[in-house]
Amino acid sequence: MLNARTFRNLRILILLLILLVVALNSWLSKIRTTDWQEPLWVLVYPLSGDGLPDTQTYIDSLAPDTFAAIEVFFAREAARYGAGSGIDDPVFVQLAPQVLSTPPALPHNPSLFDNIRWSLSMRWWAWRNDTWQGPAPDIRIFMRYYSPENRDRLAHSLGLQKGLIGLVNAFASESQQGQNNVVAAHELLHTLGASDKYDLDTGLPLWPEGYAEPDRVPRYPQRLAEIMGGRLPISNGWALIPPGLGEVVVGPATAREINWPDSAPLPPNAKVLAGDGI
């Protein structure tokens, strides 16, 4: 019969083996999702954040082409960088059935331990509440919608590289779906290893890596937003969320983080991108 010391050592060994498997799986997932040899399959799972009728009506109206702008954005930017040669559509987005459960809440002012525990809880929740009946996707984005009548500031959206999961807080409005897609693309890039390029206190893009045209003269207003910078700088101290992905690019620093070449020419006029109609 095992004594207490042996049993404790056995538990530690099992835990270390589990952590090793998780770490190895995360490492393999990072390599696979950023080698750009095959298209990434992304599933979007809608859910209601407030249970209001108008939110549900909007969720019921969602269609696969609601998120087509995300595919166009990645195809355009990958082509601009010459990434994923031979792949016309590096990201393929599909709509999954609605999720009825509520994801775990991130604690206020979380510690490192709180973040780790929440990450594990989120991955467990995503697995338990997967409404998709087909093959497993590469990345799962949970779009949590709120009524546009909600005047409260939405909670910060999140993207987990370990687990390849994004949680996007969005407004249930067709007029704001363009901005929703910007946030979704931002969190999708987090799952691929891209880092934020804005000041966490002010929300303003960091110069130069958070600017689409850091060498532009005059610097303001910028014509385009860098996706991980999050906002379009209008003047020093003022930046707006772009209306859609037609006004957004992947900057060189972000490209480097997701294993794309880190240099690509910008179009001479922002209208080249805005003309995408996304």
Residue whose entry in the numeric block shows the structure tokens 């610097």: 219
Give the Cα separation of 95 and 90 in Å (integer): 17
Rounded Cα–Cα distance for residues 51 and 165 (Å):
23
Q: How many residues does the chain have?
A: 278
Does the pLDDT value for residue 96 go beyond 90? yes
Say how far residue 151 (Cα) sits from the centre of its chain.
24
Q: Is 184 helix (H, G, I), strand (E, B) or coil?
A: helix
For β-strands 91-95 and 139-146, DSSP reports them as unpaired
Question: 216-272: per-residue pLDDT in tens?
Answer: 999 999 999 999 999 999 999 999 999 999 999 999 999 999 999 876 666 555 444
- Predicted confidence at residue 105, as pLDDT, reads 87
pLDDT in tens, 24-71: 666 555 666 678 888 999 999 999 999 999 999 999 999 989 999 999
Residue 88 CB coordination number (10 Å): 9
Q: Beta partners for 94?
A: 43
Domain chopping of the chain, boundaries: 37-193, 197-278
Q: What is the pLDDT of residue 236?
A: 93
* Statement: 37-193 belongs to CATH 3.40.50: no
Helix (H) or strand (E) holding 43: strand 40-48
Residue 274 has pLDDT above 60, yes or no: no
Q: What is the pTM of this model?
A: 0.85
pLDDT of the residue at 271: 46
Contacting residues for 62 by C-beta, under 8 A, at least 6 apart: 46, 95
Span 170-206, pLDDT tens digits: 999 999 999 999 999 999 999 999 999 999 999 999 9
